[in-house]
């Protein structure tokens, strides 16, 4: 009988930025000044928990700067538990490494060489697999590719998909954890089709889900969206973790227990970085930081399909939506907009999580999944 008892941490979208690389743009959403002190605080907590390993599902750096990859790589070498990483869209944002208006970045072939101690020790590919714990296998995927024009896409290439199709039947007796940066399951209504949110989804998510379902994979861990959310589609759960440099600065600790794959239990607990030097009330500050930058985003959401509200009318609703995205980001969102017209009210209130909690008993921050 296999003993699957183990504990691991998740910290996502670190956007590590050493001081000399910080890109001071007035409208940037990422509070990268807290990236290093915040991550160090998380690690100090993890050190008290006897973790078996740590997963980091992408966007390790602010914008792929070699200095930031080097800092993180060296820091991860000092930790008392294994760390496994994958790239996010910020980790090599251009094909050439040139990054107009920002710092130069690494190119995608360079990424594995920085993280040979974090899963890439036996490959120069951007994806890999390894055993995390007896009977537990990590499948770490890359969802960042470039088309012929050099545009970055959130997609898995054919070579990787074939590798995965060959791999899964070989490890089907293992308890498999999949890690990929882009979302595979929608985390709010219409995410895969809306002009604003579709870029957070994996372009070929249906094909990946078909493979995972075929081999009875139950768990996917993602980042990218900067929200706390747990979504379910059939027997597949996707746990996405918010960013350490965005409100509410969350991270997760997951305890897995069970003696067979048909009787697995995941106890998921979320934690938050609430203060770092210089930001003694980080959560309040970063919520306001996000609210200060919400107007343009909300105007796009209001004026694009499916609402298509004229700009002069849309402006009336923006003040009431100042904290809309911050509330989604913190997870377990509840919304009520009684003063909005019926169609607008229905659109925004459907982002509430009450029904999911009632129906599936799944909280985004603290929950227990029985697989």
pLDDT at 207 over 80: yes
Domain end call among 237, 272, 307 = 272
285 found inside a domain:
no
Provide CB contacts within 8 A for 118, sequence distance 6+.
Answer: 56, 73, 76, 82, 83, 84, 85
As given in the structure block, the two tokens for residue 109 are 């072939």
364 found inside a domain:
no
Same domain for 71 and 203?
A: yes
Same domain for 74 and 223?
A: yes
pLDDT at 141 over 90: yes
Q: What is the pLDDT of residue 25?
A: 79
What value does the mean pLDDT of the chain take? 95
pLDDT at 89 over 80: yes
Q: From CA 166, how far away is CA 46, in angstroms rounded?
A: 35
Q: What is the pLDDT of residue 1?
A: 60
Placement of tokens 């990424």 in the chain? 111
302 found inside a domain:
yes
Same domain for 263 and 304?
A: no
Would you say 239 and 232 are in contact if contact means Cβ atoms under 8 Å apart?
no
- 99: confidence class by pLDDT, cuts 50, 70, 90: confident
Mean pLDDT of 199-221: 97
- Return the top range by mean pLDDT from 18-27, 137-146, 188-197: 137-146
Q: From CA 113, how far away is CA 131, in angstroms rounded?
A: 20
41 found inside a domain:
yes
pLDDT at 355 over 80: no
As given in the structure block, the two tokens for residue 235 are 């027997």
Q: Which residues of 50-67 are buried (b: 16+ CB within 10 A; e: fewer)?
A: ebbbbbbbbbbbbbbbbb
- 337: confidence class by pLDDT, cuts 50, 70, 90: very high
Q: From CA 309, how far away is CA 267, in angstroms rounded?
A: 43
- Quick: pLDDT tens for 25-45: 777 889 999 999 999 999 999
- Quick: pLDDT tens for 225-257: 999 999 999 999 999 999 999 999 999 999 999
Would you say 54 and 11 are in contact if contact means Cβ atoms under 8 Å apart?
yes
165 found inside a domain:
yes
Provide CB contacts within 8 A for 368, sequence distance 6+.
Answer: 265, 266, 267, 268
283 found inside a domain:
no
Cis ω before 32 (30° cut-off from 0): no
Provide the strand spans (E) within 247-342. Answer: 250-257, 265-272
Same domain for 126 and 173?
A: yes
pLDDT at 276 over 90: yes
**Helices 205-214 and 158-167: angle between axes, nearest 10 degrees:** 10
Same domain for 81 and 147?
A: yes
369 found inside a domain:
no
Same domain for 225 and 351?
A: no
Cα torsion angle, 196, 156, 11, 358, sign:
positive
| Number of residues assigned to the chain | 371
Q: What CATH number has the domain bearing residue 66? A: 3.60.21.10
Across-strand partners of 58? none
As given in the structure block, the two tokens for residue 101 are 């208006």
3-state secondary structure of 252: strand
pLDDT at 138 over 80: yes
pLDDT at 118 over 70: yes
The residue range of the domain holding 41 is 6-272
Q: From CA 346, how far away is CA 236, in angstroms rounded?
A: 28
- Total number of domains constituting the chain: 2
Same domain for 222 and 329?
A: no
Would you say 106 and 94 are in contact if contact means Cβ atoms under 8 Å apart?
no
pLDDT at 361 over 90: no
Q: By percentage, how much of the chain surpasses pLDDT 90? A: 89
Same domain for 127 and 177?
A: yes
Same domain for 340 and 209?
A: no
Same domain for 104 and 157?
A: yes
Same domain for 253 and 344?
A: no
1 found inside a domain:
no
Q: What is the pLDDT of residue 23?
A: 83
Same domain for 121 and 237?
A: yes
SS3 content of the chain, % helix, strand, coil (to 5): 30, 20, 45
């Amino acid at each position: 009988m296999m003993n699957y008892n183990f504990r691991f941490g998740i910290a996502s979208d670190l956007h590590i930025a050493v001081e000399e690389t910080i890109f001071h743009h007035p409208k940037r959403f990422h509070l990268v000044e807290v990236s290093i002190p915040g991550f160090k605080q998380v690690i100090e907590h993890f050190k008290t928990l006897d973790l078996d390993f740590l997963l980091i599902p992408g966007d390790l750096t602010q914008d792929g700067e070699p200095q930031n990859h080097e800092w993180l790589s060296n820091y991860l070498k000092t930790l008392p538990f294994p760390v496994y990483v994958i790239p996010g869209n910020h980790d090599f944002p251009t094909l050439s490494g040139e990054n107009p208006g920002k710092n130069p970045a690494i190119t995608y072939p360079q990424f594995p060489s920085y993280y040979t101690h974090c899963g890439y020790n036996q490959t120069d590919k951007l994806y890999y697999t390894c055993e995390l714990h007896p009977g537990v296998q990590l499948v770490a995927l890359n969802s960042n590719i470039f088309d012929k024009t050099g545009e970055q896409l959130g997609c898995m290439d054919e070579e990787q998909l074939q590798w995965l199709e060959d791999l899964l039947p070989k490890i089907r007796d293992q308890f498999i954890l999949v890690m990929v940066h882009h979302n595979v399951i929608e985390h709010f209504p219409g995410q895969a089709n809306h002009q604003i949110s579709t870029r957070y989804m994996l372009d070929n998510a249906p094909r990946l889900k078909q493979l995972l379902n075929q081999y009875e994979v139950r768990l996917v861990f993602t980042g990218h969206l900067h929200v706390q959310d747990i979504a379910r589609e059939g027997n597949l759960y996707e746990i996405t973790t918010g960013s350490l440099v965005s409100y509410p600065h969350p991270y997760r600790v997951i305890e897995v227990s069970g003696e067979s794959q048909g009787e697995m239990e995941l106890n998921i607990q979320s934690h938050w970085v609430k203060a770092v030097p210089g930001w003694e009330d980080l959560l309040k500050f970063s919520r306001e930081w996000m609210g200060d930058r919400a107007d343009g985003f909300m105007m796009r959401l209001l004026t694009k399909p499916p609402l298509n509200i004229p700009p002069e009318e849309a402006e009336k609703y923006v003040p009431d939506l100042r904290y809309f995205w911050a509330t989604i980001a913190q997870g377990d969102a509840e919304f009520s907009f009684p003063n909005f017209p019926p169609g607008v009210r229905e659109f925004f209130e459907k982002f509430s999580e009450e029904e999911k909690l009632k129906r599936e008993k799944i909280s985004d921050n603290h929950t227990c999944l029985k697989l």
